[in-house]
Amino acid sequence: MGRQAKGMDAVNWISIVVAALAALCLYLASPHQALWPAALARRYFLRWLSAPLATGAIAAAVRDYGLWCGMCIALSGFMTALVVLPYADAWLRRRGSRTPAKPGARHVG
């Protein structure tokens, strides 16, 4: 069980990271982000790219853990990244190390 458990643990982390990359693509396509302003020019591609990344993360986790457990693993990485990214962006803006969001973008909150 030791070797198989380690392999399954790697799949667990790989699906979490790939799901977080899908969330990053969605966040970078948002007009409210200031992490990478040049990404707004590629927002349609980033939105498109998030779908196969999220699907691949779910498929990898479902293959080794089963349907519901695999979906929970992949979607927890996705949702965690969606929560953390706006806070990281706001923190970096507050420090003054990044450029502000696109002018004219509506501010939420």
Q: What is the pLDDT of residue 57?
A: 96
The answer to whether residue 104 sits within a structural domain is: no
The answer to whether residue 105 sits within a structural domain is: no
Contact by Cβ (8 Å): 65, 8: yes
The answer to whether residue 47 sits within a structural domain is: yes
Count how many domains the chain has. Answer: 1
The pLDDT profile of the chain, 109 residues, written as one tens digit per residue, is 444 566 668 889 999 999 999 999 999 999 989 899 999 999 999 999 999 999 999 999 999 899 999 999 999 999 999 999 999 999 988 887 545 566 666 666 5
**Which residues, including other chains, have CB under 8 Å from residue 80's CB and lie 6 or more apart?**
20
Separation between Cα atoms, residue 1 and residue 84, nearest integer Å: 34
The answer to whether residue 100 sits within a structural domain is: no
Q: What is the pLDDT of residue 99?
A: 57
Q: What is the pLDDT of residue 6?
A: 63
Global pTM value: 0.80
Helix (H) or strand (E) holding 18: helix 2-28
**Which residues, including other chains, have CB under 8 Å from residue 71's CB and lie 6 or more apart?**
58, 61, 62
